[in-house]
């Protein structure tokens, strides 16, 4: 009875987690973790694993979530190499403050909010360094749970799969809202606006600032203005996940336009920044979480509480990636080089989108492929069905997730023709 009572109590405290398996534990008393089930395979990881196991010389990996050059190789930016050269042998490895590198935060806020932002001057932004974009989202989700415990998070359909995991583990209730329009492979703007209007006042919305993952579909500037206006009417709170600033279009200012529109309209916002893609710092885990507050006093309070969430999670954030970011963004020459290099990456992806569409059209595909070039960023939601994707894999050794998402980073001038031909073969009417 006591055991059951404790189990019930535990379940109540953490309702989203499965209660202890008491019978299984008793049956397997010799092994404390014998009852632990294998976790389901990560689908994206599975794609890459299958790709690596394929012996075919024709194989193409368009499941990968990281940038590749035109030879299909990972890239380390020159500005990053130079920043690292300046770090090695010259700096110590002391703990950063709980909130992270002050310099990196300063430069990150300028990048997101604007070089001459009044919000920065007025010290209205509470910001902490985070473990890339994921860490920023998780800190915000935990913050939301702790300080706005009755709030929910509205998450677009579809979205990056980890978003659901993050807010679930933070125990914030989730709702979804309409975003992608499968029939047109674009934005379901009227559906989106209806959801914003129908959500209770003061709701929390997760918005991708640019280069929506996994669809590549973004609102236009005019649409963002209408969204911002409707948010104002409803007093909703926008939390922007900005993982691709600069990497999406090649212009960091243009990619931050949605955020700037909301700021011009007087919203308070949250923002998760990642330097994984736009600086190629993937494994160095450099990111920033910022929350625009009402005034400096509130920003100080919010930041202090964010630090209290980070401390029992990892104490303080990793120093190396933060140093790289702050050196690049604060040195005019390196920043100029970075802007050139990030544009180079964006341009290559845009070029591959054009090439893929042109190849498909040359092959006489009767379908419309305008969405390939209308979409933006690393990913293209092709519209192919899971069965078509399976055929691509089995017959042509082309690897992507079954939702039809193509990572444009995996497309090269060397394989785009082959890819187009395969897509045409599996999509053409019989």
Partner 1 sequence: MAPANVRAAQAQAPSADRRLSTLVGHLLPSSPRRAAADTSATSTLESFPTMASQGSSVFAALEQAPEDPILGVTVAYNKDPSPVKVNLGVGAYRTEEGKPLVLNVVRRAEQMLINNPSRVKEYLPITGLAEFNKLSAKLIFGADSPAIQENRVATVQCLSGTGSLRVGGEFLARHYHERTIYIPQPTWGNHPKVFTLSGLNVRSYRYYDPATCSLHFEGLLEDLGSAPSGSIVLLHACAHNPTGVDPTIEQWEQIRQLMRSKSLLPFFDSAYQGFASGSLDKDAQSVRMFVADGGELLMAQSYAKNMGLYGERVGALSIVCKSADVAVRVESQLKLVIRPMYSNPPLHGASIVATILRDSEMFNEWTLELKAMADRIINMRQQLFNALKSRGTPGDWSHIIKQIGMFTFTGLNSEQVAFMRQEYHIYMTSDGRISMAGLSMRTVPHLADAIHAAVTQLK
Give catalytic residues, as residue numbers.
160, 241, 277
Q: Which helix (H) or strand (E) holds 180?
A: strand 180-181
Where b means 16+ CB within 10 Å and e means fewer, 100-119 reads bbebbbbbbbebbbbeebeb
- Residue 232's Cβ-side half-sphere holds a number of Cα atoms within 13 Å equal to 13
- Choose one: 94-102, 212-220, 373-381, 388-396; the region binding partner 1 (CB under 8 A): 94-102
Among 15, 55, 57, 88, binds partner 1 (CB under 8 A): 88
Among 268, 330, 403, 421, binds partner 1 (CB under 8 A): 268
Cβ neighbours of 348 (radius 10 Å): 21
Among 294, 296, 370, 390, binds partner 1 (CB under 8 A): 294
Q: Position of tokens 């600069």? A: 246
Minimal distance in Å, beta carbon 232 to partner 1? Answer: 13
Q: Quick one: which of 7, 285, 16, 13 has its CA closest to 169? A: 16
Minimal distance in Å, beta carbon 84 to partner 1? Answer: 5
Nearer to partner 1, 214 or 383 (CB): 214
What number of residues does the chain have? Answer: 430
Q: Position of tokens 């019978």? A: 23
Q: 155, 203 in Cβ contact below 8 A?
A: no
Residue numbers 308-367 binding partner 1 by CB under 8 A: 308, 311-321
Q: 69, 85 in Cβ contact below 8 A?
A: no
Q: How many residues bind partner 1 (CB under 8 A)?
A: 92
Nearer to partner 1, 21 or 254 (CB): 21
**Binding letters toward partner 1, positions 96-115, x by CB under 8 A:** x-x-----------------
Nearer to partner 1, 31 or 57 (CB): 31
- Burial of 256 by CB count in 10 Å (0-12 exposed, 13-18 middle, 19+ buried)? buried
Nearer to partner 1, 81 or 362 (CB): 81
Where b means 16+ CB within 10 Å and e means fewer, 299-318 reads beebbeebbebbeeeeebbb
Nearer to partner 1, 97 or 182 (CB): 97
Decide if residue 298 touches partner 1 (CB under 8 A). yes
Nearer to partner 1, 306 or 426 (CB): 306
Decide if residue 214 touches partner 1 (CB under 8 A). no
- Choose one: 216-224, 300-308, 335-343, 358-366; the region binding partner 1 (CB under 8 A): 300-308
Q: Quick one: which of 152, 155, 160, 215 has its CA closest to 185? A: 215
Q: What token pair was written down for 219?
A: 């609102």
Among 78, 190, 220, 305, binds partner 1 (CB under 8 A): 305
Decide if residue 76 touches partner 1 (CB under 8 A). yes
Residue numbers 132-191 binding partner 1 by CB under 8 A: 132, 134-135, 138, 147-152, 162, 165-166, 168-169
* Alpha-carbon span 325 to 100, nearest angstrom: 12
Minimal distance in Å, beta carbon 278 to partner 1? Answer: 12
Nearer to partner 1, 220 or 308 (CB): 308
- Choose one: 68-76, 326-334, 394-402, 404-412; the region binding partner 1 (CB under 8 A): 68-76
Minimal distance in Å, beta carbon 163 to partner 1? Answer: 9
- Choose one: 288-296, 368-376, 390-398, 407-415; the region binding partner 1 (CB under 8 A): 288-296
If you count DSSP H runs as helices and E runs as strands, how many of each does the chain have, helices first? 18, 13
- DSSP conformational letter for 331: S
Q: Quick one: which of 273, 271, 275 has its CA closest to 324? A: 275
């Amino acid at each position: 009875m006591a055991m059951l009572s404790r189990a019930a109590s535990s379940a109540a405290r953490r309702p989203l987690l499965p209660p202890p398996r008491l019978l299984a534990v008793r049956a397997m008393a010799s092994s404390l973790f014998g009852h632990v089930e294998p976790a389901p395979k990560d689908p994206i990881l599975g794609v890459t694993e299958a790709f690596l196991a394929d012996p075919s010389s024709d194989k193409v990996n368009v499941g990968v979530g990281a940038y590749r050059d035109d030879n299909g190789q990972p890239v380390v930016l020159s500005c990053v190499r130079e920043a690292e050269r300046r770090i090695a042998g010259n700096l110590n490895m002391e703990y950063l403050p709980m909130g992270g590198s002050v310099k990196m935060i300063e430069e990150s806020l300028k990048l997101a909010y604007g070089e001459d932002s009044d919000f920065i001057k007025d010290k209205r932004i509470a910001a902490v360094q985070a473990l890339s974009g994921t860490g920023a989202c998780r800190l915000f989700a935990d913050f939301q749970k702790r300080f706005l415990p009755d709030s929910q998070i509205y998450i677009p359909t579809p979205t990056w799969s980890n978003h659901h995991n993050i807010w679930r583990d933070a125990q914030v209730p989730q709702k979804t809202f309409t975003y992608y329009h499968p029939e047109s492979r674009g934005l379901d703007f009227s559906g989106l606006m209806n959801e914003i209007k129908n959500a209770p006042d003061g709701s929390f919305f997760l918005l991708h600032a640019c280069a929506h993952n996994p669809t590549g579909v973004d609102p236009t500037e005019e649409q963002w203005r209408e969204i911002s206006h409707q948010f104002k009417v409803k007093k909703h709170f926008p939390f922007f996940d900005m993982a691709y600033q600069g990497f999406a279009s090649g212009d960091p200012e243009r990619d931050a336009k949605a955020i700037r529109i909301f700021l011009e309209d007087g919203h308070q916002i949250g923002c998760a920044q990642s330097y994984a893609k736009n600086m190629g710092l993937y494994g160095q885990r450099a990111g920033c979480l910022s929350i625009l507050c009402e005034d400096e006093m509130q920003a100080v309070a919010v930041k202090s509480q964010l630090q209290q969430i980070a401390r029992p999670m990892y104490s303080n954030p990793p120093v190396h990636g933060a140093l790289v970011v702050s050196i690049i963004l604060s040195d005019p020459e390196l920043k100029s080089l970075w802007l050139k290099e990030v544009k180079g990456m964006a341009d290559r992806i845009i070029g591959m989108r054009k090439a893929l569409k042109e190849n498909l059209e040359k092959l006489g595909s009767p379908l419309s492929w305008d969405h390939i070039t209308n979409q933006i960023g690393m990913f293209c939601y092709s519209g192919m069905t899971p069965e078509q994707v399976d055929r691509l894999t089995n017959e042509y050794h082309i690897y992507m997730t079954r939702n039809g998402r193509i990572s444009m980073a995996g497309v090269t001038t060397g394989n785009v023709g082959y890819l187009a031909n395969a897509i045409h073969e599996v999509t053409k009417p019989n």
